[in-house]
Amino acid sequence: MAYVPDMKMRSAGGSFVKALTSRAVLAPVAAVLVFLVLWEALVWVNGWPNYVMASPSDLPPAYAKYWGLFLEMGWQTLWRTVVGLVLAVIVGLFLGMIMGFSKLMRDALYPLLVGFNAIPKATVVPIVALMFVGDHNFNTILMAFMISFFPIAVSVSIGLSTLEPEYRDILRALGASQSTIFWKIALPKTLPEFFGALKVAVTLAFIGTNLMEIVSPHGRGLGALFDSGKTNSDYPLMFAVLIALAALGIVLYYAVVALEKIFAGWAERPQG
Amino acid sequence: MYPMIKIEGVRHAYKTATGPLPVLDGLEVEVKEGGFVAVVGPSGCGKSTLTKLVAGLMKPDTGRVMVHGEVVTGPRATVGMAFQNPVMLEWRTILENIVLPLEIVPNKLTKAEKMERANYLLELVGLAGFGNKRPSELSGGMRQRASLCRALVHKPEVLILDEPFGALDAFTREDLWQTMHKVKAEEPFTGVLITHDLRESIFLADTVVVLSQRPARTQYVLDVPDTGPRTLDDLYTPETAEMLNILRHQIEVAQGRVAA
C-alpha cells in the first residue's frame, strides 16, 4: 500500500462534546446567528413585505409546511450532486494525470479545456435538456459533472508537473518504474492540491445540479421546489430553498474537509 | 585492482531548440574502490550531468562510464544519491523516508530489520530519536542528515553527493563534514562529491578533479595526501593553504580569467 492514513487523525469520537463547545465550532455558529439577526433587522427596518425579501422568521413556517418535500427534494439534489462529483473526480484525475505527465498532452488539451470551462453553463443547460429529453437524472448529473471537473483536472496536472526532479531521480536511479513513482510519490504529493480543488468543485457541482433542476420542465430536487415557489408566488418557500441549499453545500464541503484531514492531514503545518 | 568508477573520454551534448549544446567534452575521472573524489568547476559546467551519467540516468553520446568494471547502461540499485535539496516525502515519518530505497531495491530484509538499519544510520549521523518526526519538524541541516541516511540505507557501492551542503550555514556545514568522515569509517562507500566549496573538497576527498568551463573536460587533478584522520584544524595548515591556492588558480583558469 502506497499510503496509510494517520490513525491519530481519526480519534475524534471520545472528545465529541468537547469539540462541540470548542472555539472552532462556537465561532462559526455565532457568525451565522449574527447574520440571521442582521437579515431580520434589515427586513424589519425597511418594512419590506415578504415578496420583496422574506425574513428569517418567515422560514420556519415554510419548512414546517413542506418538510416532507424538503427531505425528498433535498435528497434528490444531494445524490445527483454527489454522483456528478464522483464522475468529476474520476475524469478530472484522469485528465490531470495525462496532462501532468505529458507536456504534449498538456499543450494539446489545455486550450480545449479552458474554452470549455469559459462557456457559461447556464447556456449549456437548455442544450443538454433538449439533447436528452426526459432523462432528468442523467441531465442533472451531467451538468454537475461538467461544471466541476475542470478545477480538479487543472490542479492535479499542476501538482504532477511541478514534482521536484530530485524525487524522480532518487527513485529512478534505484530502478523504480514510472508507476511506482506515481503511486509512491506523485499521487500522495498531489493530494493537498486535489482536495483544494475538490472544495471548489463541491460548490460548483451544486450550481450545476440546480441550474438543471430549475430550468428543465418537470424537474425534481430543490431547484424544482424553488421553481414551484416562484410559480405559486410563495416567496418564503423560495428563500427557504436557498437556505436549504446553503446548508447542503456546507455539509458536503465539510465532508471533503474531513476526507482531506484523513488523507492529506500531513500537509497541515502545526499552528502557533 | 580495477577502479570502482571509471569515466573515459566522455562527450555529451543536450539537444536544445537552437541545436546541440555540448556540456561534456573529454571527461576523464577515475575513483578507486573506497575512494572519494570531489568535482569542482565553474557554475554550469556540467557537474550535475556527470552525476546523472554515473547514476545511469543518462547515457553519454560517446565514451564510457564504468562502475565496478561494468559499463553503465541504465539505473543500478548499487548507487545512492543525495542532493542540495534534501527532498523528503512530507507524509511519511523520517524513518519511513529513510527506508524508501529498500521498498524499491530487491532485498530479503524484514520490516523490523529495515527499521533497525534506518535507526542505526540515524544514530550514526546524530539524529537518534528523530525517526518518528515528520520532515517538516526538522531543520535544513537535520533534513540533509536524514537524506544522507536514505542514500546509504541500501548499502550502495557508490554514493553520489550533488552539492549536499551548499544551502547550509557555515557551522552546520562543518558539522556535516565531520559527520561524513564518521559515516565513511562505519559505512564504506566510493564517493563522488559535486561541490563549489574548495575547502570542503580538500577536507572530504582524497582526489579533487577540476573541470573546465562548458563543455567540460578534466582540467586538473589534485591528490590530497592521506595524513590520517582529518580534523577541522587541518584546514588551517600551510599544506592546506597551498592546495587551496592551486585549486583557486585552476578555477580561475577554468573561468578564463587567467592564463594557465
- Domain extent listing, chain A: 59-267
* A173 at B interface, C-beta within 8 A: yes
The pLDDT score that the predictor gives to residue B1 is 59
**What's the start-to-end Cα distance of chain B, in Å?**
34
pLDDT in tens, B14-68: 888 888 888 888 888 999 999 999 999 887 778 888 888 999 988 899 999 999 8
Of all residues in chain B, the one with the smallest CA distance to A165 is B87
- Dist. CA B64–CA B70, nearest whole Å: 10
Q: Considering only CB atoms, which chain A residues are within 8 Å of B192?
A: none
Write down all domains in chain B, each with its CATH number in brackets: 1-78+156-260 (3.40.50.300), 84-155 (no CATH)
Residues in chain A: 272
The pLDDT score that the predictor gives to residue A270 is 54
- A59-267 maps to which CATH number? 1.10.3720.10
- Dist. CA B146–CA B174, nearest whole Å: 16
- CB A169 to CB B56 under 8 A? no
Q: Which of A166, A189, A269 sits opposite B136 (nearest CB)?
A: A269
Q: How far is CA A261 from the centre of its chain?
A: 16
Rounded to the nearest angstrom, the minimum Cα separation between B182 and chain A is 24
Of all residues in chain A, the one with the smallest CA distance to B102 is A174
Grid cell, residue A42, equals 434589515
Q: What is the ipTM of this complex?
A: 0.77
Q: Considering only CB atoms, which chain B residues are within 8 Å of A264?
A: 91
* A185 at B interface, C-beta within 8 A: yes
CB burial of residue B15 (10 Å; 0-12, 13-18, 19+): exposed
Name residues of chain B where pLDDT drops below 50. none
Of all residues in chain A, the one with the smallest CA distance to B56 is A173
Cα separations in angstroms, B18 against A8, A103, B13: 54, 19, 12
pLDDT in tens, B177-197: 999 999 999 999 999 999 999
* B133 at A interface, C-beta within 8 A: no
Grid cell, residue A109, equals 488539451
pLDDT in tens, A235-260: 899 999 999 999 999 999 999 999 99
Name residues of chain A where pLDDT drops below 50. 1-2, 4-12, 272
The pLDDT score that the predictor gives to residue B231 is 86
The pLDDT score that the predictor gives to residue B229 is 82
Q: Considering only CB atoms, which chain B residues are within 8 Å of A176?
A: 104
- CB B83 to CB A169 under 8 A? yes
Side-chain-side CA neighbours of A56 within 13 Å: the count stands at 11
